[in-house]
Each structure stands twice: as C-alpha cells, then as structure tokens.
Amino acid sequence: MNVDALCAAVWEAGSWLKRFNRKEYEEAFQRYQERFAPLYAQAVREAEDVEGLQKLADALLDALEQRWNKRLLGRGARMVDERQVVVCFLSPMLLEEPDPLCGRFAGVLRQSWADRWPKQAYYITTYEVLRTGFRTSILGIDLTGSRVDPHRDTGGREKKR
C-alpha cells in the first residue's frame, strides 16, 4: 500500500475543487475516478476486512495530518479544502465502486476523521446526489436557458448561441 499515492487524491485539492461546479463536476469526477479508483480498490482489497480498513484509514489520516503540521500557516484552510475533496470526490468515488468494502471504507474513513477532529466532521453522499444538487436558478431566473421564449426574451430577434 503506497499511502502517498492514496493521499494524492486529497493533496491535489486545488485542482479538483475549482472544477466542483455545475458545468465541470461531471467530467472532473470521471477523471478523478479514472485516476484514483484503481489505487483505492487495490488498497481496500489488500486490507481485506474491517480491521484492515481501519488501519488503512489511520495511515491515510496520519499522512494528511503530518503534512498539515509541516505547514503551520494556512493549516486550517488546507484542512478545510482537503476535507471538501474527501466529501465531493473521494467518498462518492468509493461509494460508486462495485466492491462493497470500498463503500465500507468511505464510512470508516469518515468515522475516523470525526473521532480525530470532531469539530471538522463531515457526512458522505453519493455522486448522483452531488451531481444533481447544483442550482439551476437564482432568484427564480432559470440558468439553463430551457425556459427562454425567443420572442419575449430577445425582443423578437433569434438568440445567437
């Protein structure tokens, strides 16, 4: 088990979080899954049981914490960003995997995180819930353009796309 390779799924927070929006999330999640799902699936298979999953979660969290402690300035912000990657990318990816131990690992990781940092606890959900949760209107204005009346909304001129 290469913990650093597994941690890369979290350490690269900036490149993934900037794509966590309605337009880019679907493609970003697919790329994240292509890159990291095989690593985590193998690590979970090697863990074999709940005790092994706990050791894997502890190793992952130890590595994350060790890196946070090296950077005293911005530690809290880095922790928040990395937690958001775990919530928006890593946990949904694990829940999407066909091996039930991957989903179990998502739960073990969440609980281990909550035990270590209770004020920074998080919840896990599926990719589908996140993907469909983006707003498509603001103040009643449809952002998708699906309700545009070309005569009313463009002054009678056809809207160029």
Taking only the tens place, the pLDDT of each residue in 61-76 is 999 999 888 876 777 8
97 phi and psi, to 5 degrees? -65, 145
> What stretch of H or E contains 113?
helix 100-116
Residue 125 lies in a domain: yes
SS3 per-residue string spanning 41-86: HHHHHHHCCHHHHHHHHHHHHHHHHHHHHHCCCCHHHHHHHHHHHH
User: Average pLDDT in the 3-20 region?
Assistant: 90
Give the pLDDT confidence score for residue 43 in this predicted structure: 95
Host domain of residue 40: 3-134
Average pLDDT taken over every residue of the chain: 86
pLDDT band at 156 (very low <50, low <70, confident <90, very high): low
Residues 37, 144: Cα–Cα separation, whole Å: 31
Q: Where are the beta strands (DSSP E) in the chain?
A: 137-138, 141-142
Residue 145 lies in a domain: no
Residue 154 lies in a domain: no
Residue 26 lies in a domain: yes
Structural domain count, the chain: 1
Q: Is 72 exposed, middle or buried (0-12, 13-18, 19+ CB in 10 A)?
A: exposed
Tokens linked to 71: 């950077």
Residue pair 51/112 in contact (Cβ under 8 Å)? The answer is: no
Residue 58 lies in a domain: yes
